Amino acid sequence: MMSEDFTDLTVGILHPGAMGVAVAAACIADTIWCSEGRSAATGDRASTAHLEAVPTLDELVERSSVIVSVCPPSSAIDVADSVAALGYDGIYVDANAVAPATAQEIAERFESFVDAGIIGLPPTTAGTTRLYLSGARAGQVAGLWAGSVLDARVIDGGSGAASALKLAFATWTKASAAMLLSVRAFAASEQVEDALLEEWAISQPGIAERSEATAASVAPKAWRFEGEMAEIAAAMAIHDLPTGFAAAAGEVYSRLAEFKDRSDVSTEEVVDRLRS
């Protein structure tokens, strides 16, 4: 049984990317990460957040009462498999943007599993980011972020509920962002972009600025979003809902993957890449 005294617990984070490191930093328990095979940039992020590094996944699994997986959705099953293969018997939390069916598949690998979905930016300020949790031990896991900048919320439902909420939210935010960028690219291809911007200023004030902000914020992260769109399409298909929105958005993000981690991407570069 997991102790209610969170100061006595160790939480393993797989892996401390931009989101994972912020989630780990907000946790009130001791947090560790596995440095094996990770990049120097990952190590720098983890060090800045004062996370303790362990050299192997075996040691992380042995020491962690809870393991939280925060990785690209295309890697979620592989990460879970690597942990399960070592006989992990603690609480495994999958906080990735995966379809409910994928979350349920991962849950089968562990005796104790909590489904999770993160909505918002990497948490640095209270009120910006929610961690939704579902499953029998979701309440215990939520306590790991009590009073922190990360708002941990338990919702009804078992494995898959938190993931379903995350994907429902992401379908709107990320698919609409991809559509907005595609509209800019289409208008540029037809040489009516200036006229469109003028019309937006009249009938849709703020949309032009939104498209530019979207290009700058989405392009550096697009490499992660293609897999998320595939998970959304799979989730929609189970309910015989149209999958084309997610599939088209996935293609947009695939084309923008080359901008990974760049902080200086312009709208013109994004439009040109989508047109090529």
Last residue within a domain, chosen from 157, 179, 207 = 157
Q: Assign residue 42 the CATH number of its domain.
A: 3.40.50.720
The stretch 7-34 carries a mean pLDDT of 93
If asked whether residues 231 and 184 sit together in one domain, one would say yes
2 — pLDDT class (breaks 50, 70, 90): low
Residues 6+ away with beta carbon under 8 Å from 226: 250, 253, 254, 257
If asked whether residues 169 and 84 sit together in one domain, one would say no
Picking from 23, 4, 8, the residue whose alpha carbon sits closest to that of residue 94 is 23
If asked whether residues 20 and 106 sit together in one domain, one would say yes
Last residue within a domain, chosen from 157, 184, 206 = 157
Q: What angle do CA 76, 82, 83 make, to 5 degrees?
A: 90
Residue linked to tokens 């996944």: 57
41 — pLDDT class (breaks 50, 70, 90): confident
Segments forming the whole domain that contains residue 250: 165-275
Beta bridge partners of 10: 30
Q: Assign residue 170 the CATH number of its domain.
A: 1.10.1040
Residue 1 counted as domain residue? no
Give 276 or 166, the one with higher predicted confidence: 166
Number of domain units in the chain: 2
The stretch 173-200 carries a mean pLDDT of 98
Residue 56 counted as domain residue? yes
In the predicted model, is pLDDT for residue 5 greater than 70? no
If asked whether residues 175 and 269 sit together in one domain, one would say yes
In the predicted model, is pLDDT for residue 1 greater than 50? no
Residue 101 counted as domain residue? yes
Picking from 77, 93, 95, the residue whose alpha carbon sits closest to that of residue 85 is 77
CB environment 194-225: b (16+ within 10 A), e (fewer): eebeeebeeeeeebbeebbebbbebbbbbbbb
The stretch 240-250 carries a mean pLDDT of 97
If asked whether residues 114 and 142 sit together in one domain, one would say yes
If asked whether residues 66 and 102 sit together in one domain, one would say yes
If asked whether residues 50 and 176 sit together in one domain, one would say no
If asked whether residues 121 and 173 sit together in one domain, one would say no
Of 8-17, 134-143, 191-200, the one with minimum mean pLDDT is 8-17
The stretch 96-119 carries a mean pLDDT of 98
If asked whether residues 207 and 128 sit together in one domain, one would say no
Q: Quote the tokens at residue 65.
A: 């009462």
If asked whether residues 137 and 262 sit together in one domain, one would say no
If asked whether residues 86 and 120 sit together in one domain, one would say yes
Last residue within a domain, chosen from 157, 178, 197 = 157
Picking from 49, 57, 58, 55, the residue whose alpha carbon sits closest to that of residue 30 is 49
- From the CB of residue 248, how many other CB atoms can be counted at a distance below 10 Å? 16
pLDDT of residue 6: 63
Of 2-16, 120-134, 231-245, the one with minimum mean pLDDT is 2-16
- From the CB of residue 186, how many other CB atoms can be counted at a distance below 10 Å? 15
The stretch 190-195 carries a mean pLDDT of 98
Residue 192 counted as domain residue? yes
Instruction: Tell me if 151 sits within 8 A of 126, measured CB to CB.
Output: yes
pLDDT of residue 16: 86
- Condensed to tens digits (0 to 9), the pLDDT of residues 111-166 reads 999 999 999 999 999 999 999 999 999 999 999 999 999 999 999 999 999 999 99
If asked whether residues 33 and 150 sit together in one domain, one would say yes
Residue 117 counted as domain residue? yes
Residues 6+ away with beta carbon under 8 Å from 78: none
